[in-house]
Structure 1
Amino acid sequence: MSVLVPDVTAAPPRTRAPQPVGVLIGTLVLAILTFQLNATLLSAALPAVGEQLGESTQAVSRVQSTFFLAGAVFGVVFSRWSDFLGRKRSLVIVLALLLIGTVICALAPSLPVLLIGRVLQGASNATFTISFLLLSERLSSRLFGISVGIITSVNGGLFGLDGFLGGVVTDTIGWRFLFVITLGLGLAAITCVLLFVPLDAPRNRDGSMDWWGAGILSLFLVLLTSLISQASSSGWSDALTLGYLVGTIAAGALFVTVENRTRRPLIPIRALRSRQVWPLLLTTVLTLAGVFSALNFTVVMLSQDERVGYGLSASMSALLYLTPTAFVGVTAAIFSGYLAVRIGWITSLRLSSGLITVTAVALALFSADRWLVFGLLIVMGVFYLGLFQSSVNGVSVLNSPPEARGALPGLNGACFGIGIGTGIALVAPVVATASVAGYQSALWISAGLTAASFLASLILRPAA
């Protein structure tokens, strides 16, 4: 299988020595950490957040699902807008929104106010896709593959220590201090971006951003996530569920109509229909829905359940079931981009997706054994945080239509958030029963989602 290389024909010439490449990658890693730590630090703190704000388990799950849904919307908008605005300017804007949202979260007196802050924090999701685009335009094929692995490794946070840190801070100082930590990181990130990321020219000089398409697609994403959440809690015959279903279908049809009539669409519909695009998006949604809901929600809740679970504290839960997984995932991701270049990006994607499915099934079968779960999560870290995420990020850049370079990475980034939000929405009702059957059912739901993602990856084809 041939290995695709990034389109660098229109990239600005590199006039510096190789040393600034390391500075650039380091700056982008710092920017991406602002998103990742806002996602992982709070995972172990969810029970404490619910207790202090007087909210149920299902209600407090929206702290995470809202964050990722907002990330999906902002990721699409800012990734494509960066084609017109420039990569550096876009990074500065999303980091500024993150800082505002973090201050709101730290001071939030209630769950609704906390959710508003999480929406603004979700803008930082765009740091991933903008960074991949920026690197693909400046680096060779080999260096691009290596940088994809390094950037993807940030998905594991601080080698897994962020999950443990979140638990310790929650148990000692309190969960609000987690936002003080991310505020400091955000200030450092925006400073480094201003100092070290070169100011780049827009990729698209003619035409303007398709704001109608962006708005309609954002509405579609919100309605789709709301549909799945409402259906999982109230059933498909519920009046509100049916309303969301009608709205989702109408928004999807309107998006296709508008994009077909726009001179420079958010993404060409012909590309969206191709086997180079839609199977990739489906693979990302299903994998994230299955894996994140199992690792960062069901297992966390199971491990802290004193009645039918493992009865661990927040810090011990993070130490055993979040930190080791992230640590091995970060380590594997560093080398995964190099491996993907050698064996082919899509081959790497299929291999990791298949192995994730096998691991997810084993996790559902042996959920009662805390030490076997511990070992399976480490295996999952290698294939999910390591190989899969590097592969899917690389393919999203290489398969993106040349006339809309920011389109597919933006949509793929949105699928990360949609997948995570969807997965949590699907398993939250059964996890909320706090029973052995409920936890096992949630893990089987996650396993089914990963199996479907593997089938979707077999349909995917490389761009010509």
Structure 2
Amino acid sequence: MSTTKCPAAAASAAHETPPPRLTGRLKVILAVLLVAQFMLAVDFSILNVALPAIGDDLGFSLADLQWISTAFALCAAGFTLFFGRIGDLIGRKRIFLGGLALLGAASLAGGLAPSPAVLIVARIAQGLATAAATPAGLALLTTSFSEGPLRQKALGLNGALMSAGFTAGAVLGGVLTDLLSWRWAFFVNVPVALVVLLVAPAVIAESHPATRPKIDLPGALSVTLGLLGVVYGLTRAGEHGWTEPLALTGLLAGAVLLVVFYLVERGAAQPLVPVRVLRKRTVAWGNVLGLLAFATETSLVYLLTLYMQKTLGFSALAAGLSFAVLGAGTVTGGVLAPKAIARTSTVAVLIGGGLLQAGFTAVLIFLGDTPASMGLLLPATFLGGVGNMLVIVGFMVTATTGLPDHEQGLATGLASMSQQAGITMGTPIMSAIATAAAGGAASAGAVLHGVTAAVTTDAALVLLGVLLTAVFLRVRRDRAPRA
């Protein structure tokens, strides 16, 4: 008698296969990587509230104070893709641990800095450490968890903690500066980095490439310098306006170098980023959506900080604490996203999350000039945060799906670059819009008008992401064969 199962029986048996579960070792790996990524996210915003205190203590001029943030952002965004690819070649674990060791050392140096020059060097080192550790950590996360529910859950928690880290940084920076000193905004990284460095080597396996290709030096130089030019130009534009000569020069030079990078990659024997990967629909459009998601939400934090302090008269600490509600929303979205993807699809979550974020961002147009408006702001930021995190998890799943393990460092490097470029780009763009709408005035009413105009633009950009998802990432159904 034949023992071959019929297709229905085989399908039933497959359906009854229990879903994969987190083992004890995978839980430790996940915890280590999530703690590290949360710490890296906190660094993007923890010094924002502390900048005036740093300037007073170390003697920064008002014009030079913005370089505390700019020096970090330039390196974090500019070198991410390069270090992501280096991790593919020499080992992601090595790059991850090296980045965290550099972050711990740079944070200690920044906390002890006796002068502006030392502090800026420490911030540059922190930016380089972030550019190395972020894509390597994400690559270790995606290669430790196979495609499917486990990876979606891991990316959901990672996205939630990274977004929560950005908002938590504003809160933590205000608390540490008020209660202790701005130096503790640096020192807080040191023990966390030490713990991760002690635990990670024992639980995370190294990834060794089967072959070790040569570094694409022309590609690495052109993309790194191109990103530096764009980020510098955007930062200058936010500070001095879009017609400022250095801002225009940076943006133009950066754009030209990125075009050169694409042309170099087309002809390179061993490219830094294979053009076939850039042409992959999920990679290309997934990263565009990621850039928009991070640009809109992080710039909204800036706009609402401006609104609460300049229009409502809140202190920096009170404004920072208000973002705990947004942080709760992003954590909620990160928990819900993998479940929603499993029940529907990644595209459905991207569209649904985008509509949720756009709707509750648009609601903020109705903010007024009295503290009663907090009754609108707090629930709107919570629900908008849920929507934003649905988009971020959907973007991470989309941008890292369909590539082999040996290219996951490249995929996560591109995703990290989109994330960091979005964080860097959003604030200067929205700042310029708000300043122009306010007519350069700093009165409570003018600031409210400027913030409202920028919030409208923010909501429109989120809707643009929804439209791009519907057009370019829709599920393509195979046509029935002709008779």
TM-score greater than 0.5 by the shorter chain: yes
Query: Where in structure 2 are the equivalents of 1:338-353 lying within 5 Å?
Result: 338-353=339-354
**Gap change, CA 1:116 and 1:452, over 3 Å in 2:** farther
Find the counterpart in structure 2 of residue 310 from structure 1: 312
Aligned AA (2:374): R
* Counterpart pick for 1:193 among 194, 197, 200: 200
Query: Where in structure 2 are the equivalents of 1:445-460 lying within 5 Å?
Result: 445-460=457-472
Find the counterpart in structure 2 of residue 408 from structure 1: 411
How many angstroms does 1:218 deviate by?
1.0
Please state if 1:426 is matched with 2:429. Answer: yes
Structure 1: tracts of 5 or more residues without a match: 1-16
Partner SS for 1:39: coil
Partners of 1:456 and 1:64 in 2: CA distance: 31
Find the counterpart in structure 1 of residue 231 from structure 2: 225
* Counterpart pick for 1:300 among 255, 280, 305: 305
User: Which protein has greater RCO, CA pairs closer than 8 Å, 6+ apart?
Assistant: 1
Find the counterpart in structure 2 of residue 18 from structure 1: 23
Find the counterpart in structure 2 of residue 12 from structure 1: none
Partners of 1:108 and 1:462 in 2: CA distance: 51
How many angstroms does 1:332 deviate by?
2.8
Aligned AA (2:458): S
* Counterpart pick for 1:116 among 115, 121, 135: 121
Partners of 1:173 and 1:256 in 2: CA distance: 48
How many angstroms does 1:364 deviate by?
3.1
**Gap change, CA 1:318 and 1:76, over 3 Å in 2:** same
RMSD: 3.0
Partners of 2:213 and 2:155 in 1: CA distance: 30
Whether the aligned pair in 2 keeps the contact of 1:102 and 1:179 (CA below 8 Å) is yes
Partners of 2:341 and 2:36 in 1: CA distance: 24
Partner SS for 2:150: helix
Whether the aligned pair in 2 keeps the contact of 1:80 and 1:266 (CA below 8 Å) is yes
* Counterpart pick for 1:377 among 375, 381, 393: 381
Find the counterpart in structure 1 of residue 154 from structure 2: 147
Partner SS for 2:44: helix
Aligned AA (1:319): L
Partners of 2:157 and 2:293 in 1: CA distance: 21
Find the counterpart in structure 2 of residue 7 from structure 1: none
Query: Where in structure 2 are the equivalents of 1:17-96 lying within 5 Å?
Result: 18-50=23-55, 52=57, 60-96=65-101
Aligned AA (2:416): G
Query: Where in structure 2 are the equivalents of 1:272-291 lying within 5 Å?
Result: 272-291=278-297
How many angstroms does 1:238 deviate by?
4.1
How many angstroms does 1:274 deviate by?
4.2
How many angstroms does 1:56 deviate by?
7.7
Aligned AA (2:283): V
Aligned AA (1:90): I
Aligned AA (1:210): D
Residue identity (%): 25
How many angstroms does 1:299 deviate by?
1.5
Structure 1, residues 135-180: CA drift from partner, whole Å, max 9, x if none? 3323342211111112222124479665433322111212211111
Q: How does the TM-score come out when normalised to structure 1?
A: 0.85
Question: After the TM superposition, which of the residue ranges 265-274 and 144-153 deviates more from structure 2?
Answer: 265-274
Find the counterpart in structure 2 of residue 266 from structure 1: 272
Partners of 1:237 and 1:163 in 2: CA distance: 30
Q: How does the TM-score come out when normalised to structure 2?
A: 0.82
Structure 1, residues 304-353: CA drift from partner, whole Å, max 9, x if none? 33xxx222223222222x11211232133123223223322232122212
Paired residues, what number?
A: 442
Please state if 1:103 is matched with 2:126. Answer: no
Find the counterpart in structure 1 of residue 400 from structure 2: 397
Question: After the TM superposition, which of the residue ranges 120-129 and 185-194 deviates more from structure 2?
Answer: 120-129
Aligned AA (2:159): T
Aligned AA (1:150): L
Whether the aligned pair in 1 keeps the contact of 2:356 and 2:383 (CA below 8 Å) is no
Partners of 1:383 and 1:273 in 2: CA distance: 28
Whether the aligned pair in 1 keeps the contact of 2:87 and 2:95 (CA below 8 Å) is yes
Question: After the TM superposition, which of the residue ranges 55-64 and 267-276 deviates more from structure 2?
Answer: 55-64
Structure 2: tracts of 5 or more residues without a match: 1-21, 477-483
Find the counterpart in structure 2 of residue 249 from structure 1: 255
